[in-house]
Amino acid sequence: MESESGPPLSAAFLAMALGRRVRERVEDRLREHGIALRHLSALGHLHRRPGISYSELARRAGVTPQSMQDTLRRLEQLGAVERTTEPGRGRTAMLRVTDEGHRLRLAGRAVIDETDAAITGAGPDDHLTQSLRAALDRFPLEPERGAGE
Amino acid sequence: MESESGPPLSAAFLAMALGRRVRERVEDRLREHGIALRHLSALGHLHRRPGISYSELARRAGVTPQSMQDTLRRLEQLGAVERTTEPGRGRTAMLRVTDEGHRLRLAGRAVIDETDAAITGAGPDDHLTQSLRAALDRFPLEPERGAGE
DNA sequence: AGGCAGTTTCAGTCAAGCTGCAACTCAACG
DNA sequence: CGTTGAGTTGCAGCTTGACTGAAACTGCCT
C-alpha cells in the first residue's frame, strides 16, 4: 500500500505502515500452523476463561457472534477446541481448549515473541513499546460517530 | 480485534492495535469526503508525478493494476483525476489531478495532520515518530517467502 | 512483417467481516 | 402454569478490497 518511495512520513502514516507490516508478518508465520490471528486471539481468551460461549467470546473480541462462529468452526475442525455441551440452536455452548489447542497457542506465542524481538531491535528498546502504549492510551477508539445529530 | 480486556501487551500487539485504530480513524474521516486511503495515496502519487499511467501507479502503490483501476475509476467518477489520452485497451493512459482532485488531496492531508496531532499527543512528542521510524527501518517487508520461481 | 513485453479492460474468486432471519433455550413475570 | 422476551446458535447472503486469469490491444525491436 503506502509504498516506500516517498515523501512524507507523519506519525499516522508510520503507525499504519508498521501495523500493517507486523500484521502481515504474523499472519504469514501463523499460516504455517494453519491459523490466523483471530484464531490465536480466540484461543487466548478461551484459555484464560474456559467454558465461555460463542457469543461471549465474540463480545470480548469485538466481533459479531456470526463472525466468531466462523473462527471457532475452524478451530473445532482443527481439533483445537471442543464443546462440552450438545450442539443445537438456542443451546449455549461450553467451549474448552484441547491439548492440540494448547500446542497451537504456544506456537502462536512463539511467533509473537519472535516478531516482538524483531520489532524492538533484538535489544530491550522499550522506547518503542512505551511510545506505542502511550499513543494507544491517548488514542481511544472512536465514540461511535454514527448519528451524532 | 484485540480487545482491551487482557493481558499481554507486547510491542507486536501494540503496533497492530495502534495501526488498526489509526487506519480506522483516518478512513472514517476520509469517508466523509467520499474517498478511502488508497484514493488519497493515488492522488498523492499522481500529484508528485503527473502523467503516469495505471500500471505505473499500481507499481508505486504496491498493488496490481487491476486493483488500481478500481481506485482510479472512483477518482475519475468524482472528477478528481482525468485522462488526457483516449481510453482503449492497450493504450497507455496519461493521468492528471484536476482542481477538484487537489481540493480532495488537501482535505485528506488535513485529516492526516489532525490524526497526527492526536496520535503524538498534541505536543511535539517525537518519541513516537522516532520510535516508529526506527522500528520500520529495522523491519523490512518480507522477502517474498514463496518459492523463488 | 512478426514477435513480444507492457497496458488496459473484463470477469471471476477469495477472505473476513457484516446484516437479516429462523429456531431454540431459559429465566422471569403475571 | 403460560407467555414473553432477551440471549444463542446456526444458516444464508451481502460487502469491501484485494487477488488471479484471460482477452484485446499498442508500440517497440529485431
Directed axis angle between helix A99-120 and helix B11-31, to 10°? Answer: 80
What does CATH list as the number for B36-116? 1.10.10.10
Task: Verify whether the Cβ–Cβ distance B19 to A24 is below 8 Å.
Answer: no
Tell me which residue has cell 501494540.
Answer: B14
Is the pLDDT at B81 greater than 70? The verdict is: yes
- Residue–nucleotide distance: A93 CA to D1 C1' (Å): 29
Yes or no: domain A11-123 corresponds to CATH 1.10.10.10? yes
- Could you say which nucleotides of strand D lie within 7 A of any protein CB atom? 6-13, 17-27
More reliable by pLDDT, B62 or A88: B62
Residue B145 pLDDT > 70? no
- The pLDDT value recorded for residue B124 is 58
The answer to whether residue B142 scores a pLDDT higher than 80 is no
- pTM of the entire structure? 0.86
Chain A residues close to B28, C-beta within 8 Å: 142, 145
- Distance from CA(A30) to C1'(D23), angstroms, rounded: 37
Chain-wide mean pLDDT for chain A? Answer: 86
Identify the pLDDT of residue B121: 75
| B80 pLDDT more than 70 | yes
Helices (H), B32-98: 37-48, 54-61, 65-77
Q: At residue A73, does pLDDT exceed 60?
A: yes
Domain boundaries, chain A: 11-123
> To the nearest whole percent, how much of chain A has pLDDT over 90?
62
- Cβ neighbors of A4 (< 8 A, separation 6 or more) are none
pLDDT in tens, A42-60: 999 999 999 999 999 999 9
CB A60 within 7 Å, strand D = no
Contact B23, A16 (CB under 8 A): yes
